Structure 1
Amino acid sequence: MKLPRRGFLRLAAGIVAMPAVSRVASAQTYPAKPITMNVPFAPGGSTDVIGRILAERMKVTLGQPVIVENVTGAGGTIGVTRAVRAAPDGYTISLGQNGSHVITGATYGNLSYDLLNDFEPVSLLVISPFVITSKKDVPATDLKGLIAYLKANPGRTVGNAGMGSITHVAGLVFQSVTQTKLQFVPYRGTGPAMQDLVAGQIDMMIGDPITGMPQVRAGMLKIYGVASDTRLPSAPEVPTVDEGGLPNYHISLWHGLWVPKGTPQPIIAKLHEAVLDALADPATRAKLAQAGQEVFPRERQNPDALRSLQKAEIEKWWPLIKASGFKVE
């Protein structure tokens, strides 16, 4: 049967429009099944703990379970690669931080994705400064004493969340400003690194308070300072690095939520609503505060604020890392 030209054009236009119509219909019924929260680090680390706290509350707003999936290795890049390749339908969301979604863009030269252009931002979440900890056997009792010990004993081991991760970069910066010589030991996240630190298999860590502070309070580790100019509200007894004699060594870990590029805006809006509800929930905020996390102000809990901070951090860190010549091969 020969189709008239006008009818053929209408049919062709309809076929072309089908994916868009399908996306609109999907957005209207979203979510119709469980959502996977991609976490690019091992269980027990900061990103994993934050993800599980948020997932528990987000399911209330979304009406579907939010399942945390840990995809680990290579400073978070393996997990982020899986997230960016997922269908842009809202059923895979990417929980990350300035390590996985900023630092690795400079420390890894062969990424298969563009951190700014291959994701859509959903919201900023929380932020917390790093803390400097060591195993109990280290004889130093304060930050100046720790630096003196490291200078007198070169080659002390420092655990991190993987080569090229923000905890690795934090260690490199610490080594530079203290003029010490350290040996860096990569793990698949701060959780496994912390296990080895408690066991005495490595000497120290510079990382988030989520993994460090419970061990400090249990008497399993020593702590020397908060990498900020203000003390942690959840641990006001711990001095800042400025107070301890290492001024301006300020490094924080912030977290955000992204989805693959091309995710429909109505779906992003529903996810954003679930984030806002979670971060406003008193029980969720209490859990995050207990973990040493500060929730960003509500006016910054949005896609634009996340994109702006990510871009500003890229402009800050990438030139410094590239100028140092450091790169993960």
Structure 2
Amino acid sequence: MRRILWAVLAAFVTLVGPAHAETWPAHPITIVVPFAAGGPSDAMARILAERMKQSLGEVILIENVTGAGGSIGVGRAVRAAPDGYTVSFGHLGTHVANGAIYKLGYDLVEDLEPVVLLPSNPMIIVSKNAVPAKSLKELLEWLKSRPAPPTAGTAGAGSGSHIAGLYFENVSGIKLQYVPYRGTGPALNDLVAGQIDIIVDQTSNSINQVRAGNIRAYAVTDSKRVANAPEVPTVDEAGLPGFHMTLWSGLWVPKGTPQEIVAKLNTAAIQALRDPAVKKQLENLGLQMPPQDQLKPEALGAWQKAEIAKWWPMIKAANVKVE
């Protein structure tokens, strides 16, 4: 009798699972952004969420969960129910670098299901206006001449701006004093106010302040100039050849989320990226669209693993300490 009951229960679960996926979504979805509101990750997530809700037929809320280089926000998503109602937004820092820096309590690959690769942007080297340098070569000379290490804002240990700073140190030989914030939005505010010296920031975060004349830009970390800021030279042109870094973003869901739901989220995100209005908004921020053949969930999974293999050795060699 007990075996019969278990068999009936198993059959019921098998039937209910797909039915649940078919009726999803039935209430609002939350995208957890692991940084403060107003920063580049928050801006991209809100642009995408606004368009994705048209495809999914439900409101998509943005929840900013800050702290520990974004690892707290990612952990919030990892521990959520695998039902498609909690989505993790992140990037190279949160879903690659943090695994080499923090004792996370979760595995970035094993505990998350990839959904889609999102737009990326090169970093941009920017300083407060009080810095006298007018070119990257002059900036490097000025930084080297400081009696104490110049201050560099980051979104915390392991964030994209922190990784870029470490990479900058490796390439230039200049030691930086990192000042962590709960996001690059607050860090940028302090740069504008002259409280810190530089940020190796996401182009999408800094470009409007550069255009407004509130901070100074020296170079983008790519082999080609950014389309919406052609006046900013590349690092190769400006005097720091080879300092190439692109900060990519993506969406994930908790492990065990039904594949039907992952597929629906993937489709909604792709439709958003292909929407001309959304595309224009993202490109105005200096973001670059991912290749069409890299938009499937498995492509993001493979890319994440490749980036772990690339960046973890450098991060561990830098002996980054979490304060």
User: Which residue of the other structure, out of 236, 248, 254, is the alignment partner of 1:242?
Assistant: 236
User: Which residue of the other structure, out of 156, 159, 164, is the alignment partner of 1:162?
Assistant: 156
CA displacement 1:135-185 (0-9 Å, x = unmatched): 110000000000100111132211001122221121122123222232110
| d(CA) in 2 for partners of 1:158, 1:213 | 17
Task: Give the AA of the match of 2:116.
Answer: S
| d(CA) in 2 for partners of 1:247, 1:210 | 22
Task: Give the AA of the match of 2:129.
Answer: K
Kindly state the Cα deviation for residue 325 of structure 1 after the two structures are TM-superposed: 2.6
Task: Give the AA of the match of 1:51.
Answer: A
TM-score (norm 2): 0.97
Structure 1 position 196 matched with structure 2 position 161: no
Identity %: 55
Partner of 2:101: 107
Partner of 2:114: 121
Mean CA deviation greater in 9-18 or 237-246 = 9-18
2:121–2:204 CA contact under 8 A, matched in 1: no
1:106–1:327 CA contact under 8 A, matched in 2: no
Kindly state the Cα deviation for residue 261 of structure 1 after the two structures are TM-superposed: 0.3
2:149–2:177 CA contact under 8 A, matched in 1: yes
Kindly state the Cα deviation for residue 53 of structure 1 after the two structures are TM-superposed: 0.5
The alignment partner of 2:125 has SS state of strand
2:166–2:318 CA contact under 8 A, matched in 1: no
Partner of 1:76: 70
| d(CA) in 2 for partners of 1:298, 1:20 | 34
CA displacement 1:235-286 (0-9 Å, x = unmatched): 1111001111101111111011110000001111111110111011000000
Structure 1 position 177 matched with structure 2 position 177: no
| d(CA) in 1 for partners of 2:255, 2:43 | 26
Structure 1 position 56 matched with structure 2 position 32: no
| d(CA) in 2 for partners of 1:242, 1:103 | 25
Structure 1 position 150 matched with structure 2 position 143: yes
Q: For structure 1, which runs of at least 5 residues remain unmatched after alignment?
A: none
Deviant stretches of 4+, over 6 Å: none
| d(CA) in 2 for partners of 1:144, 1:100 | 31
Partner of 2:247: 253
Kindly state the Cα deviation for residue 17 of structure 1 after the two structures are TM-superposed: 4.3
Task: Give the AA of the match of 1:317.
Answer: W
Partner of 1:313: 307
2:35–2:64 CA contact under 8 A, matched in 1: yes
Partner of 1:137: 130
| d(CA) in 2 for partners of 1:221, 1:247 | 23
Corresponding pairs, count: 322
Structure 1 position 290 matched with structure 2 position 280: no
| d(CA) in 2 for partners of 1:19, 1:143 | 62
Kindly state the Cα deviation for residue 18 of structure 1 after the two structures are TM-superposed: 4.0
Kindly state the Cα deviation for residue 16 of structure 1 after the two structures are TM-superposed: 3.7
Structure 1 position 29 matched with structure 2 position 23: yes
| d(CA) in 1 for partners of 2:17, 2:182 | 36
| d(CA) in 2 for partners of 1:17, 1:122 | 29
1:164–1:327 CA contact under 8 A, matched in 2: no
Kindly state the Cα deviation for residue 19 of structure 1 after the two structures are TM-superposed: 3.9
The alignment partner of 1:130 has SS state of strand
> Between Structure 1 and Structure 2, whose CA radius of gyration is higher?
1
Q: For structure 2, which runs of at least 5 residues remain unmatched after alignment?
A: none
| d(CA) in 1 for partners of 2:11, 2:201 | 49
CA displacement 1:44-80 (0-9 Å, x = unmatched): 1111010000000000000001111100010000000
| d(CA) in 1 for partners of 2:319, 2:128 | 31
Task: Give the AA of the match of 2:135.
Answer: D
1:164–1:328 CA contact under 8 A, matched in 2: no
1:87–1:260 CA contact under 8 A, matched in 2: yes
CA displacement 1:280-323 (0-9 Å, x = unmatched): 10000000000110111222111111011101000111122223
Structure 1 position 300 matched with structure 2 position 294: yes
The alignment partner of 2:131 has SS state of coil
